[in-house]
Amino acid sequence: MTDPRLDGKKLILGVTGSIAAYKAAELVRLLVRAGAEVQPMMTADATRFIAPLTLGTLAKRQVLIQVFPENQDGSWTKHVDLGLWADGLVIAPATANTLAKLANGFCDSMLTATVLSARCAVLVCPAMDHDMWTHPATKANVDRLRSFGYTILDPERGELASGLIGVGRLPEPETIAAFIGEWLESRTQVNRSLEGKKVLVTAGPTREAIDPVRFLSNGSTGTMGFALADAAARRGADVVLLAGPVDLPTPAGVDREDVVSADDLHRAALNHADADLVIAAAAVADYAPATAGEQKMKKADEDLVLQLRRTPDVLAALGERKQNGQVLVGFALETRNGEANARGKLERKNLDWIVLNHANEAGAGFGTGTNRVVLLGADGSRHELPMMDKAAVAARLLDLITAQETAKE
């Protein structure tokens, strides 16, 4: 099935000498099936892991390897032309060696020479052993590549070819293909689908004071909410971001208000209840200490029982006040009976959409750069997204929600 974000797009796919090179075959197949033209390039060491014939047959193009191919007629393939031809250049998998070469401007193969001369967007998907990935040299090289404007799709945590468990795994081809669609769209098209709309996003945890130095909270880092605020602003919306205590930079063009407790968030959210689209991604505490001591509590010999009170239900309050045409999106982080619980919350709180993520799944939920979510609609619809970078998840969620809401108008 073609994907409008990839259909007709010209991609160079660089493959390097990692054990994960076998995944490149499936990636080529998925990209070609989505409608992309794929020009494979391999480093010489990549050909020890997977045959050029495999990638060439799937891409229906000759695989390019050498800067100096020995053509009988004296012709040569111009890496500069290819760099101009492509809409995007993806390296998957990218070895530590190739990262080091690119960070230092080496161009001793067709792939590295093309990257250096490419004017198109570059996406690098590293794959390696955990210790290679966490080595300061690799970290410095990756930072350098980011500073060139290249996008890095971070490797995932899981079982590695070495037998160790750690970070370094190349994401599955489906995840990379979905990410490439998002990435290309954000790089090549101006999507202004939320122009003139006010969007309210809540993000991060809340802190409920026990005394002046202690609090109850949770492990939310705010990454998903910040990615949603960023994606909405890129689509032209006037975005208000209510942020709990998090350590994240404010996305460009976003109006940020910092809050601490569930009470603060409740008050601030009601001030912006006129938004056209409300996305409640904050992990709001359900309970707070009944009274917060004015002075630091002193340790005693006995056990301590904390009396807790219910905090205001921010999402339910917004649901009660929902105006005609307003779209309300909630998040559910569940550890069991995910879909049933999320659907219950959707109905109880008068939401239009709920995003379900699983707290006990590796690479999803709190504190990770990636997420795997299911979007459930009040109209009974269900959209399952693959594990993706949170920025890509945010973009996909906004696409799905805006497309369906526009269709209803």
Ligand X SMILES: Cc1cc2nc3c(=O)[nH]c(=O)nc-3n(C[C@H](O)[C@H](O)[C@H](O)COP(=O)(O)O)c2cc1C
Cis peptide before 93 (omega within 30 of 0): yes
Binding piece for ligand X, criterion CB under 6 A, among 16-24, 221-229, 335-343, 363-371:
16-24
HSE (side-chain half, CA atoms, 13 Å) at 257:
16
CA angle 19, 20, 25 (to 5 degrees): 120
Give catalytic residue positions: 218
Q: How many residues bind ligand X (CB under 6 A)?
A: 15
DSSP classification of residue 2: -
Our CB check for ligand X shows the closer of 91 and 281 to be 91
Question: What minimum distance in Å lies between the beta carbon of 17 and ligand X?
Answer: 3
Question: What minimum distance in Å lies between the beta carbon of 240 and ligand X?
Answer: 43
Q: What whole-number distance in Å separates Cα of residue 203 and Cα of residue 248?
A: 11
Binding piece for ligand X, criterion CB under 6 A, among 91-99, 211-219, 361-369, 388-396:
91-99
Question: What minimum distance in Å lies between the beta carbon of 128 and ligand X?
Answer: 3
DSSP classification of residue 189: -
Sign for the CA dihedral angle at 66, 72, 74, 78 comes to negative
List the structure tokens of 268: 């601030």
Distances (CA, A) of 138 to 94, 254, 341, 380: 12, 33, 42, 46
* In contact, 363 and 387? CB cutoff 8 Å: yes
Q: What whole-number distance in Å separates Cα of residue 276 and Cα of residue 324?
A: 9
Binding marks (x or -) toward ligand X, 93..132, rule CB under 6 A? --xxxx----------------------------xx---x
Binding piece for ligand X, criterion CB under 6 A, among 18-26, 221-229, 230-238, 365-373:
18-26
Per CB under 6 A, 20 contacts ligand X? yes
Our CB check for ligand X shows the closer of 173 and 338 to be 173
Binding marks (x or -) toward ligand X, 150..189, rule CB under 6 A? ----------------------------------------
How many other CB atoms are there within 10 angstroms of residue 404's CB atom? 17
Our CB check for ligand X shows the closer of 25 and 333 to be 25
Q: What whole-number distance in Å separates Cα of residue 273 and Cα of residue 254?
A: 17
Binding marks (x or -) toward ligand X, 340..369, rule CB under 6 A? ------------------------------
Give me the helices (H) in 135-235, please. Answer: 136-147, 173-188, 223-234
Residues 6+ apart with CB under 8 A from 165: 130, 157, 158, 159
The single residue among 45, 211, 258, 313 that binds ligand X, judged by CB under 6 A, is: 45
Our CB check for ligand X shows the closer of 15 and 82 to be 15
Q: What whole-number distance in Å separates Cα of residue 201 and Cα of residue 354?
A: 14
Q: What whole-number distance in Å separates Cα of residue 312 and Cα of residue 330?
A: 15
Question: What minimum distance in Å lies between the beta carbon of 37 and ligand X?
Answer: 24
Binding piece for ligand X, criterion CB under 6 A, among 29-37, 39-47, 53-61, 180-188:
39-47
Our CB check for ligand X shows the closer of 125 and 216 to be 125
Residues 6+ apart with CB under 8 A from 302: none
Question: What minimum distance in Å lies between the beta carbon of 151 and ligand X?
Answer: 19
Question: What minimum distance in Å lies between the beta carbon of 55 and ligand X?
Answer: 14
The single residue among 34, 46, 115, 254 that binds ligand X, judged by CB under 6 A, is: 46
Q: What whole-number distance in Å separates Cα of residue 396 and Cα of residue 311?
A: 32
Binding piece for ligand X, criterion CB under 6 A, among 89-97, 365-373, 377-385, 387-395:
89-97
The single residue among 3, 9, 16, 349 that binds ligand X, judged by CB under 6 A, is: 16
Residues 134, 135, 138, 143, Cα dihedral to 10°: 70
**Given the rule CB under 6 A, which residues bind ligand X?**
16-20, 43, 45-46, 95-98, 127-128, 132
